[in-house]
């Protein structure tokens, strides 16, 4: 069993059981890409920066009906990675759009244009 610690941005919520986590990785050549994790834990707000620790699960993706391997664009088997028994620490939260408050204007005067 492997334990992982990952920091990233909360993506989509997966029903009421978990969420996707986008980890930004920069290679030695300076290229950046996002690695997508599935996290089974409580759901922070979308867009929040979090640190997740838990046990690693990796499995080869198969079609749910035919059980055939799902291949990547390179023709390699696709591997799903997930973090089970996760502990989530919110590093930077965001205000959900539905509860955001608009600032009141500093003046009641009409715009000069």
In a domain, 47, yes or no: yes
In a domain, 108, yes or no: no
In a domain, 104, yes or no: no
- The structure's pTM equals 0.69
pLDDT in tens, 19-59: 999 999 999 999 998 889 999 888 888 999 999 999 998 88
In a domain, 81, yes or no: yes
In a domain, 72, yes or no: yes
In a domain, 103, yes or no: no
- CA distance linking residue 111 with residue 19, whole number of Å: 43
Return the higher-pLDDT residue of 45 and 100: 45
In a domain, 111, yes or no: no
CATH number at residue 36: 2.40.50
Residue 7's domain comprises 3-94
Q: Are 52 and 35 in contact (CB under 8 A)?
A: no
Q: Provide the number of structural domains found in the chain.
A: 1
């Amino acid at each position: 069993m492997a334990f992982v610690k990952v920091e990233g941005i909360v993506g989509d919520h997966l029903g009421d059981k978990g969420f996707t986590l986008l980890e930004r990785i920069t290679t030695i050549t300076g290229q950046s890409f996002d690695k997508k994790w599935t996290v089974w834990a409580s759901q922070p707000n979308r867009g929040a920066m979090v640190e997740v620790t838990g046990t690693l699960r990796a499995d080869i993706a198969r079609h749910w009906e035919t059980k055939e391997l799902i291949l990547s664009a390179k023709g390699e088997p696709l591997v799903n990675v997930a973090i089970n028994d996760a502990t989530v620490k919110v590093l930077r939260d965001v205000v959900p759009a539905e509860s955001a408050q608009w600032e009141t204007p500093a003046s009641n005067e009409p715009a000069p244009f």
